[in-house]
């Protein structure tokens, strides 16, 4: 028979092992966040406004946390592929997603079976800001104004094509079509780069780019701006009219934000919200925001959650006005 002392010794060993494991787990949990690299999924291709904003914030966050912040582009299905990937990630603060009016607002109206809920499946951390879009054509195009675009489309029904690669580029063109009566036809693209290539190559005639995406192409003379979708003229392109100057009431803006999978610990979300809001006042980040024509406002997490719901409701109105049926 095993003696009492032997059995006690064995139990003592088991208890010691359990205590050591508990202590190790407690120590791991107590490590300050972040203690390893952070991944930000951008559900669109490189070069778009979301990609530019995510990379700008990643550089700021690296400076604040001394940890690497990796950008992972996962384009496809109007942002659904990358956003669903983020939804299914471990909710530990090490996988975040660049959320937009496409992924967290318009897609609710554009798709019958969206594989995620922008409110229930995500913690919406904060907003980088809002921005409009600009209608662009290649240099030398005979379409050299908003009026010329409308007249050309009406004179050639079904033969003027616009490209779209996310909800902002689609909805801006569709609202323009409805508001002006210009019978344009849409062509879908997986990435902004493919759309711009076809625009320059003449396969499509016009493209609505978010300010951030269009800035380098317009400023570099690679594309010509016809009009902007914001309520006011862009602060850099002061000679480019708003579309509302020709068609009163026309206005469309988009938003860029940061989200995390649902059930991410609140203390981590609060830390990320703080870094994001402070980034908006950082001179380097702010200069970039200004350059891209973005309007920013710091938000609490509660404010951001309400803002997402308001955007969902707003895009319902947009899609109904454009007569778009969900896919």
Give the end of a domain, one of 245, 265, 296.
245
> Among 221, 245, 269, where does a domain finish?
245
Tell me if 4 is assigned to some domain: no
CATH number at residue 106: 3.40.190.150
**Residue 173: φ, ψ to 5°:** -70, -40
The domain that holds 166 is classified in CATH as: 3.40.190.10
The beta strands (E) that lie in 203-314 are given as 206-210, 224-228, 253-261
Rounded CA-CA distance 305/99 in Å is: 12
* Radius of gyration for the chain, computed over Cα atoms and rounded to the nearest angstrom: 24
Residues 223, 139 share a domain: yes
| Rounded-to-integer distance, Cα 181 and Cα 152, Å | 12
Q: 217-263: per-residue pLDDT in tens?
A: 998 999 999 999 988 898 889 999 999 999 998 988 889 999 999 99
Asked whether residue 131 carries a pLDDT value surpassing 60, the answer given is yes
Taking residues 150-168, what's their average pLDDT? Answer: 93
Report the alpha-carbon distance of residue 89 to residue 175 in Å, rounded: 35
In a domain, 171, yes or no: yes
How many whole angstroms separate alpha carbon 167 and alpha carbon 118?
Answer: 15
> What is the extent of the structural domain holding 101?
38-130+254-322
Strand partners, 72: 41
The reply to whether 288 falls in a domain is yes
Residue 113 and residue 259 in one domain = yes
Give me the pLDDT at residue 25, please: 43
Q: Are residues 237 and 258 in the same domain?
A: no
267 shares a domain with 236: no
Helix (H, G, I), strand (E, B) or coil at 28: helix
Does some domain include residue 314? yes
Among the candidates 227, 245, 263, a domain finishes at 245
Is residue 95 domain-shared with residue 63, that is, in the same domain?
yes
* Nearest in space to 154 (alpha carbons), one of 143, 140, 138, 169: 143
At residue 166, the pLDDT reads 84
CA–CA gap between residue 267 and residue 100 (Å, rounded): 23
Give the pLDDT confidence score for residue 210 in this predicted structure. 86
| Same domain? 59 vs 117 | yes
For residue 43, is the peptide bond before it cis, meaning its omega torsion is within 30 degrees of 0?
no
Judgement on whether residues 182 and 121 belong to the same structural domain of the protein: no
Calculate ∠ Cα 147-152-153, nearest 5°. Answer: 100
Inside any domain, residue 147: yes
The set of residues, in sequence order, having a beta carbon less than 8 Å from that of 170 and lying 6+ positions away, is 164, 186
Q: Do both 156 and 172 map to the same domain?
A: yes
Please give the DSSP secondary-structure letter assigned to residue 245.
G
**Same structural domain for residues 101 and 136?**
no
pTM of the model: 0.78
Task: Report the alpha-carbon distance of residue 186 to residue 170 in Å, rounded.
Answer: 8
Residue 79 has phi, psi (to 5 degrees) of 90, -5
Q: 195: number of CA atoms within 13 Å, CB side?
A: 30
pLDDT per residue over 57-110, tens digit each? 999 999 999 999 999 999 988 899 999 999 999 999 999 999 999 899 999 999
Does the residue 7 lie in any domain?
no
Same domain, 136 and 150: yes
Question: Do residues 219 and 278 share a domain?
Answer: no
Please give the tally of structural domains in the chain: 2
Axis-axis angle for helices 301-322, 266-279 (nearest 10): 70
On whether both 95 and 239 belong to a single domain, the answer is no
Q: Is residue 22 part of a domain?
A: no
pLDDT at position 163 over 90:
yes
For residue 307, give the nearest of 111, 135, 100, 52 by alpha carbon: 100
Residue 26 domain-assigned (yes or no): no
pLDDT-derived band at 294, boundaries 50, 70, 90: confident
């Amino acid at each position: 028979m095993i003696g009492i002392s032997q059995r006690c010794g064995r139990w003592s060993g088991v208890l010691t092992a359990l205590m050591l494991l508990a202590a190790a787990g407690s120590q791991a949990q107590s490590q300050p966040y972040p203690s390893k690299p952070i991944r930000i999924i951008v559900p669109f291709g490189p070069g778009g406004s979301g990609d530019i904003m995510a990379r700008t914030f990643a550089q700021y966050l690296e400076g604040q946390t001394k940890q690497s912040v990796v950008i992972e582009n996962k384009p496809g299905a109007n942002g659904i592929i990358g956003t669903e990937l983020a939804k299914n990630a471990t909710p530990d603060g090490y996988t975040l997603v660049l959320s937009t009016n496409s992924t967290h607002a318009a897609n609710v109206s554009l798709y019958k079976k969206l594989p995620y809920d922008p409110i229930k499946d995500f913690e919406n951390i904060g907003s980088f800001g809002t921005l409009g879009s600009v209608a662009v054509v290649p240099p030398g195009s005979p379409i050299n104004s908003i009026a010329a675009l409308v007249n050309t489309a009406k004179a050639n029904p079904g033969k003027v094509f616009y490209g779209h690669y996310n909800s902002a580029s689609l909805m801006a063109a569709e609202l323009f079509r409805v508001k002006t009566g210009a019978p344009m036809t849409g062509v879908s693209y997986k990435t902004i780069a493919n759309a711009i290539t076809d625009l320059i190559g003449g396969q499509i005639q016009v493209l609505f780019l978010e300010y951030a995406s269009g800035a380098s192409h317009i400023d570099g003379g690679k594309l010509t701006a016809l009009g902007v979708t914001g309520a006011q003229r862009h602060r850099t392109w002061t000679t480019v009219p708003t579309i509302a100057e020709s068609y009163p009431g026309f206005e469309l803006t988009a938003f860029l934000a940061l989200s995390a999978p649902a059930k991410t610990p609140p203390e981590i979300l609060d830390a990320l919200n703080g870094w994001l809001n402070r980034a908006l006042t950082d001179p380097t980040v702010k200069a970039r925001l200004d350059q891209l024509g973005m309007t920013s406002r710091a938000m609490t997490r509660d404010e951001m959650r309400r803002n997402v719901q308001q955007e969902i409701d707003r895009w319902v109105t947009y899609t109904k006005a454009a007569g778009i049926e969900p896919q």
